[in-house]
Amino acid sequence: MSLEQAREWLGSATAVAVLTGAGISAESGVPVFRGAGGLWKDYRPEDLATPEAFARDPRLVWEWYNWRREAIRQAKPNAGHAALVRLEIQKPRFTLITQNVDGLHDMAGSGRILKLHGDIWRMRCTSCGSNWPDRRVPLPKLPPHCGCGGLARPGVVWFGEPLPEGMMREAEHATLEAQVLLVVGTSAQVYPAAGLIPLAKQAGARVIQVNLEPTPYSGIVDCALEGPAGEILPRLI
């Protein structure tokens, strides 16, 4: 299916949901932490982004997140992020659902965001449960602590942890309401987020996929556009 047809579907829709993944951030220079290139000091993300790793060595985990925060701070939103802001302004009902924790959608100006995997620029106290923003780079002391004296952890969802309470329910609600689901820069292999694609299809929505390469859902979406989000989204929106 052509980009022109996809543009037509998107243009006529009044309710749109967007699902974004690491691909859109990678175009801004944010390192991808999955796959062969996702190593840091010989550690895989799966070895560090777990409650068990944090319990075992909180300083090591925070060294990795400190490095990630420094890498992300160099990045700026790209033309794909900006196009999604324009789409939000155009649509009466719009929800941006992201698997990314880097804050680039916020920086671009997106407002209606569901952050399925949390936010790397927030911290959470493991003692009192407080949750606060902290954009200092580098962090002056590792591991950081809360005002109550408790150990702070990154405000992200780790492997083996549930998504923030109610977040997935909101994402499913937005998907079921949408006439078009736009899926951008995601491998469609991380669940439960990837499950939104068949959910949209079941609800009768058009699904438009924008990705550098095919995904497991390329065969069922209504339109699969291959290429960088920073080039395709401005043409689509």
% residues pLDDT > 90 (the chain): 87
The pLDDT of residue 38 is 56
The pLDDT of residue 45 is 75
Tell whether 171 and 218 lie within a shared domain: yes
pLDDT by residue (tens digit) across 200-221? Answer: 999 999 999 999 999 999 999 9
106 pLDDT more than 90: yes
Residue pair 5/180 in contact by the 8 Å Cβ criterion: no
CATH code (residue 132): 3.30.1600.10
Residue 35 within a domain: no
pLDDT by residue (tens digit) across 145-169? Answer: 999 999 999 999 999 999 987 999 9
Question: Residue 83 phi/psi, 5° resolution?
Answer: -65, -35
Count Cα neighbours of 39 within 13 Å in the Cβ-side half-sphere. Answer: 5
H or E, element range at 183: strand 180-184
pLDDT by residue (tens digit) across 220-233? Answer: 999 999 999 999 99
Burial letters 48-75, b for 16+ CB under 10 A, else e: bbbeebbeeebebbbbbbbebbebbeeb
pLDDT by residue (tens digit) across 15-49? Answer: 999 999 999 999 999 977 655 555 666 677 778 99
The pLDDT of residue 147 is 95
The pLDDT of residue 199 is 97
Tell whether 134 and 84 lie within a shared domain: no
Tell whether 226 and 193 lie within a shared domain: yes
Query: Tokens for 49?
Result: 């982004």
The pLDDT of residue 44 is 76
The pLDDT of residue 31 is 79
Tell whether 15 and 99 lie within a shared domain: yes
| Of the residues 156, 173, 205, the one at which a domain ends | 156
| 117 catalytically annotated | yes
Tell whether 17 and 84 lie within a shared domain: yes
Tell whether 182 and 222 lie within a shared domain: yes
Query: Tokens for 194?
Result: 């990837």
Tell whether 102 and 204 lie within a shared domain: yes
Is the pTM for the entire model greater than 0.75? yes
Residue pair 148/125 in contact by the 8 Å Cβ criterion: yes
pLDDT by residue (tens digit) across 56-98? Answer: 999 999 999 999 999 899 999 999 999 999 999 999 999 999 9
1 pLDDT more than 70: no
Domain extent at residue 142: 45-74+125-156
Give me the mean pLDDT over the 177-206 stretch. Answer: 95
Tell whether 151 and 201 lie within a shared domain: no
Residue 39 within a domain: no
Selecting among 81, 105, 117, 145, the annotated active-site residue is 117
Number of folded domains in the chain?
2
48-53 long-range Cβ contacts below 8 angstroms, 24+ apart = 49/156, 49/158, 49/159, 50/158, 50/159, 50/160, 51/158, 51/160, 51/161, 52/160
The residue whose two tokens read 């543009």 is 7
116 pLDDT more than 80: yes
